[in-house]
């Protein structure tokens, strides 16, 4: 394919991504993630994935997108903003991470990716490709870094100098050669350790290393058993997810509120006070979270989390 054609196609993809509401879009060649292999292996060996046994599966696929899509040539990395200044009305109420205020991001982003792939097929022709949103063996942050979208911070979230870190990551892996962006080579965390110092459960065990099994997001969402007693009084009143490491990050002063209607919370969600949460019924849970990512923890899981905070 001619260089100018690759440029044209890449520009078309980026323009379309912007029209669909994505915050940014970068493109990297589909190849083996050499740097990530030893890092992932060490992280699994240290059992930092806790009960997330699925992290142990498909090791090769996590590192090589060509094993996920036949003839894969390019990984299109996209970011979708979810930042909001809206807050829960009762400061004493158990807290929900702001990414889960609105509709489940998996559904919202999958639809956008589907549309993007359709438009690419109309413009470019026959394309073999797959969309990924945080639910398959794809290392989102590594690909976003390869595509020049940002660097991985000490809290292991991707940070953009211009936009902060409140965004979801997703990928389209396609069998088309495109014009590629330069990978992000610089790290702008410097000597800052705010995220490490602020983590309520000391889950950031070293700069750039998170013990997932200590992370409040893991404890309130992924963990199916009882929350270990050692975390009593350390949960900072979070009942679903946690935003602490992002709240303290200086780069998030550049975050701007999202424009995604699907992420506007259910009207009751922000109004519920401590008592409402303690007395929540399955009916209210179903109404408030009918399309939300909070359904992942199920009614019993949310009740467990709220009860644990009260101990």
- Could you give the residue numbers annotated as active site? 134
- Per-residue CA distances from 36 to 13, 54, 168, 183, 211 (Å): 27, 18, 20, 14, 17
**Dist. CA 154–CA 202, nearest whole Å:** 13
**Dist. CA 116–CA 122, nearest whole Å:** 10
**Structure tokens, 33:** 């993630």
**Dist. CA 143–CA 139, nearest whole Å:** 6
Closest CA to 181 of 26, 24, 18, 76: 26
State which H helix or E strand residue 5 sits in: helix 3-19
**Dist. CA 239–CA 217, nearest whole Å:** 9
Q: Is 276 exposed, middle or buried (0-12, 13-18, 19+ CB in 10 A)?
A: middle
Closest CA to 293 of 235, 236, 240: 240
- Ramachandran area for residue 304 (φ above 0: left; ψ -120 to 50: alpha; else beta): alpha
């Amino acid at each position: 394919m001619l260089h100018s054609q690759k440029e044209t196609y890449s520009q078309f993809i980026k323009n379309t991504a912007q029209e669909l509401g994505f915050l940014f879009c970068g493109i990297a060649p589909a190849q083996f993630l050499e740097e990530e292999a030893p890092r992932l292996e060490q992280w699994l060996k240290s059992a930092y994935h806790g009960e997330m046994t699925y992290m142990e599966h498909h090791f090769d696929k996590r590192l090589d997108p060509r094993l996920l899509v036949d003839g894969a040539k390019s990984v299109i990395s996209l970011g979708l903003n979810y930042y909001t200044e809206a807050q829960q009305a009762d400061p004493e109420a158990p807290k929900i991470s702001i990414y889960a205020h609105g509709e489940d991001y998996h559904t919202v982003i999958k639809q956008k990716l589907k549309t993007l792939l359709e438009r690419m097929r109309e413009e470019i022709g026959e394309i073999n490709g797959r969309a990924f949103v945080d639910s398959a063996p794809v290392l989102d942050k590594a690909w976003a870094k390869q595509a020049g979208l940002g660097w991985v911070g000490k809290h292991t979230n991707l940070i953009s100098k211009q936009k902060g870190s409140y965004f979801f990551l997703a990928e389209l892996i396609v069998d088309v050669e495109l014009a590629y962006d330069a990978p992000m080579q610089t790290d702008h965390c410097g000597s800052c350790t705010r995220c490490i110092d602020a983590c309520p459960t000391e889950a950031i065990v070293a700069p750039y290393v998170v013990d997932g099994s200590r992370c409040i997001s893991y404890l309130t969402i992924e963990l199916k058993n009882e929350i270990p007693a050692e975390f009593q009084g350390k949960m900072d009143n979070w009942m679903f997810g946690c935003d602490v490491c992002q709240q303290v990050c200086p780069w998030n002063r550049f975050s701007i509120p999202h424009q995604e209607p699907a992420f506007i919370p259910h009207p009751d969600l922000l109004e519920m006070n401590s008592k409402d949460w303690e007395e929540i019924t399955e009916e209210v849970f179903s109404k408030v979270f009918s399309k939300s990512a909070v359904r992942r923890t199920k009614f019993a899981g949310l009740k467990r989390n709220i009860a644990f905070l009260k101990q």
